[in-house]
Amino acid sequence: MKKKLFSILMLTGASLLLISCSTETNQNKDASTKETTTQSQKTEHVDYDDQEDWEFTSGDMQSPIDIVTSDTVAMTPDTGQISLDYGKDITKTENNGHSIQITDGGTAVINGRNFTLNQFHFHSESEHTINGEHYPMEAHFVNTAQDGRIAVIAVFFKDGAENKGFQEVLNNVDNDKTDPITDLNGMIPTNKSYYHYLGSLTTPPLNENVEWYVMKEPVEVSTAQINAFKKLYSHNNRKVQPLNKRVILEHDE
Ligand SMILES: [Zn+2]
């Protein structure tokens, strides 16, 4: 019996489903049935006004977070170079109900490891904060490795000059088209210094062990472009989550 209880404690997240299907002690069964019901109800729909109800699979390594710059730690040894080759294989631009998302098949090499870009999308306001401050927007470039590991490269957008690449994204959405984005690199800072930590997806199912690379240098977009995005999605940002015991590393170029 003790052994059984121990094995239940070792299970997390999706495994709760298994518990509810087996015949465990009553108290565990009640708890897990409730979890499973909540999970199936919430995965289909992203409601930014009801974020408390997203916590069902949350562990203690969630994203986004507030990055307190005085608490970050230099990466040693600093081998964390990122090189990106994006925008070569754009197949879809969609307004998917919780963001504008562009499917792309570019590549990223992060710290000598190869990733493939799956898609990129945008949040407003920014999801991550720096010393408690939001940027007006944040782009997420979602990459996966062959073994399934996810690495997200986050880029802050600040108010400034018009961004040609982002305008091409907006034009695609307006015209319901998927024209090539000729200036995707304009949505990525030239200087690839970043903050790195381990977190989660920021929409359900909130999977953890996601590698985050939050670019320090923001790129510029115009006020009109920010407003055009906000017209579609004015608050599609998850609230910042507790850092708990995590360390935020820093890579400087
Ligand atoms: Zn995102």
- DSSP-H helix ranges across 89-222: 164-175
Q: Could you state, in order of their start, the residue ranges of all structural domains in the chain?
A: 2-42, 62-251
Rounded distance from Cα 174 to ligand 1 centre (Å): 21
Rounded distance from Cα 141 to ligand 1 centre (Å): 8
Other CB atoms closer than 10 Å to residue 175's CB: what's the count?
A: 10
Q: How many CA atoms lie within 13 A of 216 on its CB side?
A: 15
> Which phi and psi angles does 46 have, rounded to 5°?
-105, 110
Q: What is the pTM of this model?
A: 0.79
CATH architecture of 62-251: Roll (3.10)
For residue 44, the model assigns a pLDDT of 59
Write out the chain's pLDDT in tens, 253 residues.
344 444 434 444 333 333 333 333 333 333 333 333 344 444 557 788 888 777 656 689 999 999 999 999 999 988 889 999 998 888 899 998 899 999 998 999 999 999 999 999 999 999 999 999 999 999 999 999 999 999 999 999 999 999 999 999 999 998 888 888 999 999 999 999 999 999 999 998 899 999 999 999 999 999 999 999 999 998 999 999 999 999 999 999 9
140: which strand partners? Answer: 121, 154
DSSP letter (8 states) at residue 245? T
For residue 80, the model assigns a pLDDT of 83
* Residue 133, C-beta contacts closer than 8 angstroms, at least 6 positions apart: none
- Which positions are annotated as active-site residues? 98
Rounded distance from Cα 152 to ligand 1 centre (Å): 8
